[in-house]
């Protein structure tokens, strides 16, 4: 059976969603719930850490598309970090790097939010 899990960790005023396992049409609702809960709490600064994600299909990619506009309308963003090469290649094939900022490390992504708030370190 496909194993997929997420954990949400608050780091300052940014929420980090950690992904682990296989993200497909079966497991995508788990990630949708995380986004819905964060948005319900008016949390729009979201970093998604892909470090432990082994696999993504287009059903998983669709989740990012579903929430991005609402989040940006509320002056937030979804920033992506720590993707392995295989997962990055799928994002790249579909042109997602044009729409999302992708960082090597979680700290870089979190700092990017601080910079745009004008209170972070350069």
Candidates 42, 69, 118, 122; binder of another protein (CB under 8 A) is 69
Under the phi-then-psi rule, with left for phi > 0, alpha for psi from -120 to 50, and beta for the rest, what region is 75? left
Alpha helices in the chain, H assignment, sequence order: 28-40, 58-73, 85-93, 106-117
65 binds another protein (CB under 8 A): yes
Strand partners, 52: 20
Calpha distance 90→80 (Å, rounded): 14
CB of 122 to another protein, least distance (A): 29
Candidates 8, 22, 30, 39; binder of another protein (CB under 8 A) is 22
Which residues between 77 and 116 bind another protein (CB under 8 A)? Answer: 86, 90, 93-96, 98-99
Per-residue 3-state assignment (H helix, E strand, C coil) for 96-120: HHHCCCEECCHHHHHHHHHHHHCCC
Q: Choose the stretch contacting another protein; rule: CB under 8 A; options: 18-26, 41-49, 75-83, 112-120.
A: 18-26
CB of 5 to another protein, least distance (A): 14
Q: Choose the stretch contacting another protein; rule: CB under 8 A; options: 9-17, 44-52, 65-73, 106-114.
A: 65-73
Q: What are phi and psi of 42, to 5 degrees?
A: 60, 30
59 binds another protein (CB under 8 A): yes
33 binds another protein (CB under 8 A): no
């Amino acid at each position: 059976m496909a194993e997929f899990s997420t954990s949400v960790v608050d780091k300052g005023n940014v929420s980090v969603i950690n992904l682990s396992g296989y993200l497909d049409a079966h497991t995508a609702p788990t990630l949708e719930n995380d986004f819905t809960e964060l948005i319900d709490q008016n949390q729009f600064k979201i970093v998604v850490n892909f470090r432990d994600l082994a696999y993504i299909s287009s059903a998983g990619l669709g989740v990012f598309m579903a929430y991005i506009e609402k989040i940006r309308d509320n002056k937030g963003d979804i920033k992506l970090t720590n993707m392995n090469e295989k997962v990055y290649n799928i994002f790249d094939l579909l042109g997602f790097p044009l729409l999302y900022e992708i960082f090597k490390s979680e700290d870089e992504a979190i700092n990017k939010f601080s910079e745009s708030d004008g209170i972070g370190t350069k």
